[in-house]
Chains A and B, each alone.
Chain A
């Protein structure tokens, strides 16, 4: 069974940092590209970042470019998102997804 389990979400102050993780099982993680997608409260879906299977290609949405860093560890079947200089606009549920399969998400709240 394919499973993606996000963790690391928390309530933080504006300007602070947070690192999200996504643990993957049930498929050959090292063979697949993977993304972070977020959903602000009562809003639609927003793609955040993409990383190819070997980490050779990485893309970011303009809204997070320069502040967020995506990475992966294929030996640990894990995906990460380092988020710096957080603002209230970053408040959302963050999902890791292959676009076929999605985790249940982890909530990031940014508030003073």
Chain B
């Protein structure tokens, strides 16, 4: 099983300032098609998760360009350029190379 590890567990942010979080996988997420099976989700309080990024760095439809994803192999980063109040919640990374596993989440609060 591919283990996903997220840091930090929680992040206290200031509106208008940047934020960054990390996700590490126990093995490379590069698939045979040359794409990387790494996704980012945000779960706002009381809501289901919503897809932010797929294949490391592609923003899903309607996602603000304040969000950006980077990384390769086993190390990945999600950055928020200017945090807004609506960005609070728990951020999860997920891999789909071998079945599906999620990281433990990074809780972002203001």
Contact = CB atoms under 8 A, between A and B. Distances in A.
Interface in A39-58: 44-47, 50
B99 A59 contact: yes
A100 B100 contact: no
Contacts of A102: 48-50
Contacts, number: 44
Interface footprint category on A: 10 to 19
A104 B103 CA distance: 20
Interface of A, secondary structure class, is: strand
Contacts of B94: 45, 99
Interface in B24-83: 39, 41, 43, 47-51, 54, 60
A99 B99 contact: no
B51 A45 contact: no
Interface residues of B, number: 21
Contact of B48 (A46, A95, A100): A95
A59 B1 CA distance: 13
A35 interface: yes
B105 A44 contact: yes
Contacts of A44: 90, 92, 102-105
Interface of B: 39, 41, 43, 47-51, 54, 60, 90, 92, 94, 96, 99-105
Given A45-B41, A97-B49, A99-B51, 13 more contacts: A44-B90, A44-B103, A44-B104, A45-B43, A45-B102, A47-B101, A61-B99, A99-B39, A99-B94, A99-B96, A100-B51, A102-B48, A104-B48
